[in-house]
Structure 1
Amino acid sequence: MLSYEIKLALYKEGEVSFYATDLEELSKRGISYTKAEVFYNPDMKVNRDISVAVNRILRKDGKSASIDLMAATGVRSIRWAVESDVDRVWANDKNPVAAHIIRKNVALNNVEDRVKVTCKDAGMLTSELMEIGIKFWYVDLDPFGSPAPYTRDSLRIVRRGGILAVTATDTAPLFGVYPLKLFRYYRVSGTRTHFHKEFGIRALIYFILMEATLKDLLAIPLLAYSHLHYVRAYFLIERGALEFRKVIEENLGWVNYCECGNWSTTRAVEPPGRITCELCGSRMRLMGPVWIGSYKNKEFISRIMECVPSEESRKILKSLADEIDIPFYHDLDLISRKLRISSPGVNKVVEKLRERGFSASRSHAEPKAIKTDANLAEMIRILS
């Protein structure tokens, strides 16, 4: 009944075929894909590709049980079964229409023996699973909007030594466009900056870390990135009450930011005082707390790159691997506009910085961004 009430189209992604709402038909009617009866976003393919690679790694390590708490069409879950050869996959969505289509897609790909489908609220399902002692090596949390309301429940069903994958599509709050929402959802104080995409990554990591501590767990970031309209992060989940103090002392910090584009970071648990900008003399804004440690594990990324099923995903991972581990980046276009000069090539500026003894690299987050230990004043001297 549902299949003819909703206009469906057959899609293919990776090695999987699946039905979803006909996006072309929606477009003709002037309706956004976000309003589809069965949600499917083709732009999230890189997100799903990397999740397939992560599940391949876990499968090789003998960790073969995964759950997608908000599965929509089920394409992600089914790809784990088909492409990652995961033994036990659980695909859940609270939308009964979506759950019906997931079952249809599971049968289409002949993985009924490995993919279980349920139609429940994510929080209710995690409570039930916790009650009967079912946990997973891989838990994927990919909601529409903020993951904040669902994070604590998701952590309850990750096995120790397993991975929690989190997507945030509410980038406006995370990137500081709506400071009050950023504070309300993620307990981070901040504003819009030129390095807003990386600030969003680090704010999300801080939030997940603090949510994990409430369960006496440690959420260690293995990989985090910003792509298109979302932020994505993978965490290794371990018992961590004893290690927590060391982790936050080494990796938590604050940012003093000035509207002129200058900033400095302080590694500290307690907030430092606000300072005066050395360039323009303005009072700088204190932002944080955020994660200022590394958001990538090089060995983990190397293993993913061997397994990732698409060149686009490999490029993002390569860009991440090549980044230096220094918080935030300079925007070449912004500095060039202030200096009233043509914006130079990123590689050329990186070379100049290295020649002068600074560490420097591109950033995966922005095409004209440079990560470096040179401050803004030094960047201006190099570009002038």
Structure 2
Amino acid sequence: MTKIIIPYTTKTEVSFTMNSNSSEKVIREGPAEICLVNDKVFYNPVQEFNRDLSVLVLNVFLEDYKREKLEFLRKKGKINDSESEPKIEVNLLEALSATGLRSIRYAKEVPSITKIVANDISESAVKTMNINMKHNQVDHLVETSHDDACMLMYKHKVPAKRFAVIDVDPYGCPSIFLDACVQSIQDGGLLLVTATDMAILAGNAPETCYSKYGAISLRTKSCHEMALRILLQCIEQHANRYSRYIEPLLSISADFYIRVFVKVYSGAKQCKQTTSKLSMVYQCVGCDVKTLQPLGGFKPNPTDKNPNEIKAFLPSGPPVGTHCAHCNHPHKLGGPIWSAPIHSQSFVYGLLEHLAKGTLKLGTADRLDGMLSMVVEELVDVPLYYTHDKLFSIMNLKTMPMMLMRSAILNAGYDVSFSHACRVSIKTTAPSQFIWDILKTWAKSWPAHPARLESNSVAKAILSKEITSAVDLTERPDANPFSRRSQRLRFQYNPEPHWGPGSRGAVNVGQAKTAKAIRNQNKHKKQCKRPCPQGEESERKKTNISEDDAV
């Protein structure tokens, strides 16, 4: 018996056990074990965070889902308070199961689920799943399916057959599954969608992004949040075709993918409000300032019959001139993106409370706590963000300390937060003019080098304008958010071994790594730019705190 241990950044160790008499391999994650008979084991330990987060979300969501269903039955008069509460059926579909690890974990760690359908189009994958379900003793709860994912979902379009939860975690773009997803999920049901084609969503191929998601992506420092908002608008567009709409509960950008958790409802009236939730994005090619143009809006239209009536209107535009007001450069146009909130703050608080109870033994619990703590601090009504390094790079200025920048914004009466998607993000209600005023004030004490400024037309244009608002650079304690003060594990230090989708995440058990793979492992890993005090470097590695968090 040969056992190979692959260290990982969480407290969990991923173990591969190989029988000397057979080619069978066993992978353990949490309470689940999966057996494979193929020579190549496709298992990505970095995705444990994805699965842990899904388990946590389902446990919290299903409590609310069952409560909503019972309240609905009471309103309809189908049950009385004197009667015992009926059992609410919760059927879950994992449309692309592969080994079945995710379904097994759901079966073992989410007690509210009554039935799971684990589907895959690969016959060998289904055979492997059947072995795994019996091995984990969950075959009474999990039903395997060998079918095309879309065709399987289309067979469940009838309301009585719809799923309460659908999980779609493909390799690449999920858009081909969304039409079937929004038709085969119950009212108030949860849709979990992953996208790993981040190059397309992040602006490297805007024309491809439009063909897949119906939106133009832009190359910008806030590309990870924009990717989330493009995916959300794509799901909403698919849902609207069937008089349905979405309510985002949690939207996460992590590692090499994005993952969204949305509730799906029916309602033609609510679908009309979609235009107020979507916006086009004007991006200045010089200073990178982004201005949003909503596709529609609503305003009060009181009448004698209905004093609370609202009326839809089309906003006038564009909101920007032919050239940027700050640097006199032209704009690019992207979108539409989802410009409404991408999280439900109350739901995320529920996730943190459930995580704090410790009833779930999750290997990535520290990272979950850190990321969710950042999510609840995010400004919900502020789409996209600036990045600290980009702002000062544009101006060729010495970088101001982050806490001083945040203090200046707070001193002016504006709100500011980080984004979970970027460690140097600045999400704020302050107008872009005030952000440049902060940098111009800073430039008086730390001016740009004249030679660099001469060749930088953007910085010259911005610095040539007068400061229009008073800037107070007095540092204040509340500029440092709680998640940072309490040293939460807010950002993962990537890339780790086997970091990435597809073959990058494949672990070849029992086979030596090729020389090229060894040579290229962590090739682009960023090195710390400052020497670490004695003992700090080892402590940082042990706690997995990034350099920016350690400062």
Larger radius of gyration: 2
Structure 2 match to 1:72: 98
CA RMSD of aligned residues (A): 2.4
Which shifted more, 10-19 or 107-116?
10-19
- Alpha carbons 1:69, 1:93 under 8 Å: kept: yes
2:98 & 2:406 partners in 1: Cα distance? Answer: 43
Structure 2 match to 1:253: 279
Which shifted more, 157-166 or 274-283?
274-283
> What does the per-residue CA deviation read over 1:56-111, in whole Å, with 9 as the maximum and x for residues that have no partner?
12443436221100011111111111011122111111112221222222112111
1:289 partnered with 2:336: yes
1:340 partnered with 2:396: yes
Secondary structure of residue in 1 paired with 2:128 = helix
Residues 1:184 and 1:174: Cα distance change in structure 2 (over 3 Å): same
Structure 2 match to 1:9: 25
2:136 & 2:242 partners in 1: Cα distance? Answer: 37
- Residue 204 (structure 1) shift: 0.7
1:209 & 1:165 partners in 2: Cα distance? Answer: 13
- Residue 282 (structure 1) shift: 1.7
- Alpha carbons 2:248, 2:260 under 8 Å: kept: yes
Which shifted more, 206-215 or 64-73?
64-73
Which shifted more, 63-72 or 335-344?
335-344
Structure 2 match to 1:178: 205
Structure 1 match to 2:369: 314
Structure 1 match to 2:161: 134
* Percent of paired sites with the same residue: 26
> What does the per-residue CA deviation read over 1:156-188, in whole Å, with 9 as the maximum and x for residues that have no partner?
221111111111111111111101011101111
Secondary structure of residue in 2 paired with 1:82 = helix
Residues 1:284 and 1:67: Cα distance change in structure 2 (over 3 Å): same
Letter in 1 for 2:369: R
- Alpha carbons 1:262, 1:375 under 8 Å: kept: no
Which shifted more, 102-111 or 370-379?
370-379
Which shifted more, 113-122 or 95-104?
95-104
Structure 2 match to 1:46: 49
- Residue 300 (structure 1) shift: 1.2
Structure 2 match to 1:160: 187
Structure 1 match to 2:510: none
Residues 1:335 and 1:162: Cα distance change in structure 2 (over 3 Å): same
**Runs of at least 4 residues of structure 1 off by over 6 A?**
none
> What does the per-residue CA deviation read over 1:113-142, in whole Å, with 9 as the maximum and x for residues that have no partner?
101111211012112233695221110111
Letter in 1 for 2:32: V
Structure 2 match to 1:18: 34
Q: Which structure 2 residue ranges, 5 or more long, are not aligned?
A: 1-18, 67-87, 297-313, 356-361, 443-551
Structure 2 match to 1:55: 58
1:267 partnered with 2:315: no
Residues 1:153 and 1:282: Cα distance change in structure 2 (over 3 Å): same
Secondary structure of residue in 2 paired with 1:130 = coil
2:341 & 2:37 partners in 1: Cα distance? Answer: 39
- Residue 7 (structure 1) shift: 5.3
- Alpha carbons 2:164, 2:189 under 8 Å: kept: yes
1:14 & 1:344 partners in 2: Cα distance? Answer: 43
- Alpha carbons 1:170, 1:230 under 8 Å: kept: yes
1:19 & 1:352 partners in 2: Cα distance? Answer: 56
- Alpha carbons 1:219, 1:237 under 8 Å: kept: yes
Letter in 2 for 1:220: E
Q: Which structure 1 residue ranges, 5 or more long, are not aligned?
A: 26-35
Letter in 1 for 2:53: I
Equivalent of 1:349 in 374, 385, 405? 405
Structure 2 match to 1:31: none
Secondary structure of residue in 1 paired with 2:161 = coil
TM-score (normalizing by structure 1): 0.89
- Residue 351 (structure 1) shift: 2.3
Structure 2 match to 1:369: 425
- Residue 214 (structure 1) shift: 1.1
1:311 & 1:266 partners in 2: Cα distance? Answer: 38
Structure 1 match to 2:237: 210
- Alpha carbons 2:275, 2:294 under 8 Å: kept: no
Which shifted more, 240-249 or 138-147?
240-249
Q: How many residues are paired up?
A: 368
Equivalent of 1:360 in 416, 421, 426? 416
